Structures are given as C-alpha cells and as structure tokens.
Chain A
C-alpha cells in the first residue's frame, strides 16, 4: 500500500506568491540526516495563507515528514522555480502520472478560475488505483472531465496514461498539454504532442541540493545537445517540451 500524504502548512508569503508548477524546498530533519532539503511541488494553496503539498513516502526524508503532527513547525523555502504558463488556449489537457499529479491540481484550479477554457480534460495515471487515492475524485469535483489509467488495470484504462491522449483529445482542436510525471510518460506525451502539432509543457524532476540555482546539480540536457545544460530548479521545473532532449 503506497503511503501518500497531504501536508497543509500555514505559510502566508508562499501562499500569496505561489504559481502552479512552482515548488518548495522542505527541510525534513533539523539535524544532518538527511542533510538536504526535499523539493516538493505545490499541490494547492488554500485561502490566502495555506500551502498544501502532496507526497509519497519514498525514503528517509519523506518518512520523517510523515511523522509530523498538527501544530509542528517546518522550515521551507519557496515558492521556487518557473511554473506553467497559463496559455489563453481554448483546449487544455493536463496529464499527470503518480506524484506528478500534485502540481496539476493547483494548475487545474487556476485554469478554471482564470481562463476557464471551453475544453479542459484531465488524464491521470498511476501504477494502481490505490496510488491515485482520492485524486480522481478531487479533479472531478472541480467539474473537469477526468480520464484514468492504471498500470495494473485496477482503475480506468489498463495501460499508460499517455495512451489516453489519442483516445480522448479531439485532433481537430489545438490543444495545450501540460504534463508532469515519470520521465517515460512525459517523453511519450511530448512525442504525441509533437506529432499532432500541439503545444506541450512538461514539469521535470531532478535531484537538487539547493533549489535556487547555485549548486547546478539539477542539470538536464537540452534539445540542442551541444548547448549548455538546463537547470530544473531555475530554468524550470516547467519547460516547453521542445526545449528538452528526450533521451
């Protein structure tokens, strides 16, 4: 059973300034174990002063986060990075895989609040239904059309979420696709978008030490392979799919 948690924090400055796709660096331990902060994308802001994170326990840092109880204090830096561009597109599709779904909920809410496009479709995928947990219901509650896929077929389409694009998106429309999830998923989504001539934004993940453009640890190769590396924390985490080398 995956251990997936929502963590709600009172952080007025971050809540006031956060944009969908941005992230925070969370100190999970006051000591040296683990040493580095964990980058977590912002799942949503609540009211004017709260920030919510969605994470899965994958190691020591997230394990410590999961032991936190209401009223405790946490040290975090943010909002960091460059988020999704809210295009004035008439047809928007959000594609999320696993914990990559986290920032898309914030994005969906902002899209509905700001631009309310005539077409907004959400495609969510995970390994199992349990891993999706309450997320499909949360998106449906926003009133957006939501389609699901699971690797084991326990919910929705039995297969990869990227396969839902061709099933559910009208090829006659000019879609803007925003994707966040595992690398193979985003590679597949980016490939389909390129074929269809759709705009595609991807939110990348990378190991990073600082989150503020100093350590240069979070390098990813850009499409122009001989060019300088892109840095996920500062140039991203959201990139235009065509900027990235899909190796």
Chain B
C-alpha cells in the first residue's frame, strides 16, 4: 500500500500536507515541541511579528464563551529583531515550512517587515495580517477596504521575495471583495478567517469581561461562518485559499478542503488539545486510505452542490 499523498501547493509554496498552525495559537513553534512532531506538519505560522516589540493589552485578555473563546491579546510579540535572533535559529531546524505572520501600523512598516524577513534564511512565506481586531490603529484598517487590502499586499510583494499570503478579517460586509483586492495586489494566497469581533459582560459587576472591552471570537463556535466565507472566497478568486476558523478535528479540516480550501490552519484547538494539528495530519491520511483516494487534491473543492 502506498502512503497517501497529502502534498499541496500554495502558489509557489510547496507543503508536504495541508495542515498549518494558525498565528497566535502556536507561539513560536517551540512551545508545542513536547506534544507535536513539528516536522509532521505542513507548516508552522508563527505569532504575528511587528517591527518593534509590542506589550499587548492589559488583562483580562481572554474569556471562555459557548464552544469558543474571546481574546484581546493585542498582538503582544517580541518584535522583528528578537524574532530573527532568538526564534529563527530554532524554527530553521524544525523540518517544516515556517510562515511568518506580519503586522504593521503603516504601509512602510509592512514593507520593512517584508524586506527584512526576505533576507532571513529559513522562512518560506509571509502571512500578512490585515485583520487583527484588537489594536487601535493599523491591522484591521487595511483589512476592511478592498483598495487598502490591495495597497498593503502590493507594498509587501514589492519589497519581499517571499510568497505572500494575506489573512482576511471576517468583520466586513463582503469578504470576497477584500480577497479580490489582495489577489489584485499580488497575493499568492489568502487565508481566512481571523477572529470575529465579539464581547462578553459580567452581569454582577456590569463590566466587560475583557479589559479591551471587545475581542476576537474563535473556536468551534465560529466554524460554520468561517466555512461559508471560505466557500464564497474560493469561488471569487483564482489564487489558493487557506481555511481557518474553529478547525478542531479531521472532519472539520475536510469540510474546509471540500469547500475549496487548499490548506487549513488549526487555531484555538491547539490550546484545547496541543496535539490537534498532528492528529489532523494523521486523520487526513487515514481518510484518503479509507476512501481509496490517491491524494488530497481529490478532496479539495470537491463539494457537491444540490
């Protein structure tokens, strides 16, 4: 019996399987090494990096909700220089693709990040975060207007030699339009969805449960919305789509692949079950074998409409 072929291509980025980890849920990879054979994964998308280190938001930063959680971490990260000097030496050795999520307050910051990271050995692609709901300026501002999405994509692509993936916000009226903006700007792929803006209130104290008042909802609760958006975007653009949003099991991953995603990212599930990403890789292999499919490409976009 042959090993099932899980390989996929995201533009010029070749992955041994379609399972990535979502930025902000997998640290800088090392945190999960006790639980996951990192080289089994299609790739690791690391915590979003900004030019300067960010402290993030004051606590409380997370609150559990029905089948999900709200977070307002506020993009806490070590900054570009420390990422390159402290995190990359380890990431270079993990035996899979390293995709760096980047975020900025201005086009210039995105450009600088793209240029500097292109010079770093061991990085396979950039994921441009234009969709974080938890910071006051930048981020989501670029993600809610198709022209802005196109401009930031173009800016990063012009200054970087790496494949560029643009991560989209669901907090828009028409996500397909934003995806087309990213495509027009030169993105090799789009990934979606980032978290949905949400809120929770403590009725005893009458205060918001998050210090930031609002935060991003993630986890199984958002999966149907994410799946619908991935399906819509997959039809709207020609570039590959990476599906994200509440993926916890192999079956969840398969739903996104059927809806048209070429790859998926496992997010909040990593917190609940640190082995989730590896288990999904194994589960997809079993699914192909059990269904006598020769490769995962037979699943991608395989949705049968009524």
A contact residues vs B (CB 8 Å cutoff): 27, 32-37, 75, 77, 206-210, 212-221, 228-229
* Residues 242-274 (chain B) with a chain A CB within 8 angstroms: 248, 268, 270-274
- Contact (Cβ within 8 A) B71 A214: no
Residue B145 lies at the interface, judged by CB distance under 8 Å to chain A: no
- Contact (Cβ within 8 A) B68 A35: yes
- Contact (Cβ within 8 A) A35 B71: no
**Interchain residue pairs A-B with the least CB separation, the first 9:** A217-B62, A214-B27, A32-B67, A210-B271, A209-B271, A214-B31, A32-B220, A217-B61, A219-B59
Q: Which residues of A contact B274 (CB under 8 A)?
A: 77, 210, 212
Q: Which residues of B contact A207 (CB under 8 A)?
A: 60-64
A162 to B276, CA, bound (A): 43
Interface pairs (17), CB distance under 8 Å: A32-B248, A35-B68, A37-B272, A209-B69, A209-B71, A210-B270, A212-B27, A212-B31, A212-B32, A213-B31, A215-B71, A215-B73, A216-B56, A216-B76, A229-B55, A229-B56, A229-B76
Q: Among A32, A33, A213, A216, which residue has the most Cβ atoms of chain B within 10 A? A: A216
Q: Which residues of A contact B56 (CB under 8 A)?
A: 216, 219, 229
A35 to B62, CA, bound (A): 13
- Contact (Cβ within 8 A) B271 A214: yes
Q: Among A75, A77, A214, which residue has the most Cβ atoms of chain B within 10 A? A: A214
Residue B1 lies at the interface, judged by CB distance under 8 Å to chain A: no
- Contact (Cβ within 8 A) A35 B272: yes
- Contact (Cβ within 8 A) A214 B62: no
- Contact (Cβ within 8 A) A208 B62: yes
How many residues of chain B get a CB closer than 8 Å to chain A's CBs? 35
A211 to B24, CA, bound (A): 14
Q: Which residues of B contact A210 (CB under 8 A)?
A: 31, 270-271, 274
Q: Which residues of B contact A36 (CB under 8 A)?
A: 64, 69, 271-272
Q: Which residues of B contact A208 (CB under 8 A)?
A: 62
A214 to chain B, nearest CB (A): 4
Q: Which residues of A contact B220 (CB under 8 A)?
A: 32, 35
- Contact (Cβ within 8 A) A214 B32: yes
Known: A35-B220, A221-B59; 18 extra A-B contacts, CB below 8 A, are A27-B272, A27-B273, A32-B219, A35-B268, A36-B64, A37-B271, A75-B273, A77-B274, A207-B63, A209-B64, A209-B71, A209-B268, A214-B27, A216-B56, A217-B62, A219-B56, A228-B55, A229-B59
Q: Which residues of A contact B270 (CB under 8 A)?
A: 210, 214
- Contact (Cβ within 8 A) A34 B25: no
Residue B224 lies at the interface, judged by CB distance under 8 Å to chain A: no
A77 to B60, CA, bound (A): 23
B137 to chain A, nearest CB (A): 20
- Contact (Cβ within 8 A) B66 A217: no
Residue B83 lies at the interface, judged by CB distance under 8 Å to chain A: no
B276 to chain A, nearest CB (A): 11
A227 to B71, CA, bound (A): 21
Residue B58 lies at the interface, judged by CB distance under 8 Å to chain A: yes
- Contact (Cβ within 8 A) B26 A209: no
B102 to chain A, nearest CB (A): 17
Residue B295 lies at the interface, judged by CB distance under 8 Å to chain A: no
Residue B53 lies at the interface, judged by CB distance under 8 Å to chain A: yes
- Contact (Cβ within 8 A) A214 B59: no
Q: Which residues of B contact A219 (CB under 8 A)?
A: 56, 58-59, 61, 73, 76
A75 to B63, CA, bound (A): 22
- Contact (Cβ within 8 A) B66 A33: yes
Residue on B nearest A37 in the bound complex, by CB:
B272
A77 to B272, CA, bound (A): 10
- Contact (Cβ within 8 A) B64 A215: no
Residue on B nearest A77 in the bound complex, by CB:
B274
Q: Which residues of A contact B64 (CB under 8 A)?
A: 34-36, 207, 209
A77 to B56, CA, bound (A): 27
A75 to B273, CA, bound (A): 9
Q: Which residues of B contact A35 (CB under 8 A)?
A: 64, 67-69, 219-220, 268, 272
A32 to chain B, nearest CB (A): 4
A212 to B26, CA, bound (A): 10
Residue on A nearest B269 in the bound complex, by CB:
A35
Q: Which residues of A contact B27 (CB under 8 A)?
A: 212-214
B48 to chain A, nearest CB (A): 11
A35 to B67, CA, bound (A): 5
